[in-house]
Amino acid sequence: MGSVVDSQQEARLEKLNGQLSDALRKLHYERKRGELLDKAMKLKGSEPRLIGVLNLDELQKLKGELEELRGKLRGSVTEMEASSSLLLLSKKPVREKHL
């Protein structure tokens, strides 16, 4: 009976660890996103303006900047996912199969 309870607790713990890892990954992603947005605003060197008051050239420039930011974010997300996967793999014990 003890092993059944232990395996249930282990399964529950594994599920909670997975949820925690997901939450931490999302938090890290949002922090990186915020940092990139802050950098983009500083590089632009101007105060945020409402889109409705921008002319066509400004809108096209903004679109290009946003597309560039999207590409950087995708790269960051890919790096974070790879790091997270490696971290999770490093925490799982390797069990040898006996034939």
The pLDDT, as a whole number, for residue 64 is 92
Q: Is residue 43 part of a domain?
A: yes
Mean pLDDT, residues 1-24: 83
Structure tokens at 72: 């950087």
What tokens appear for 37 in the block? 């947005």
Q: pLDDT digit string (tens) for 61-74?
A: 989 988 998 888 88
Instruction: List all residues 6 or more positions away from 54 whose beta carbon is below 8 Å from its beta carbon.
Output: 62
Q: Is residue 90 part of a domain?
A: no
**Inside any domain, residue 87:** no
Average pLDDT of the chain? 81
Which comes out higher in pLDDT, residue 25 or 96?
25
For residue 72, what are the domain limits? 2-82
- Segment 40-94, tens digit of pLDDT: 877 777 666 677 888 899 889 989 988 998 888 888 888 888 887 777 777 766 5
Is 96 among the domain residues? no
> Looking at the domain assignment, is residue 54 inside a domain?
yes
The total of structural domains in the chain comes to: 1
Query: What residue type is 41 in one-letter code?
Result: M
Distance CA 58, CA 80 (A): 32
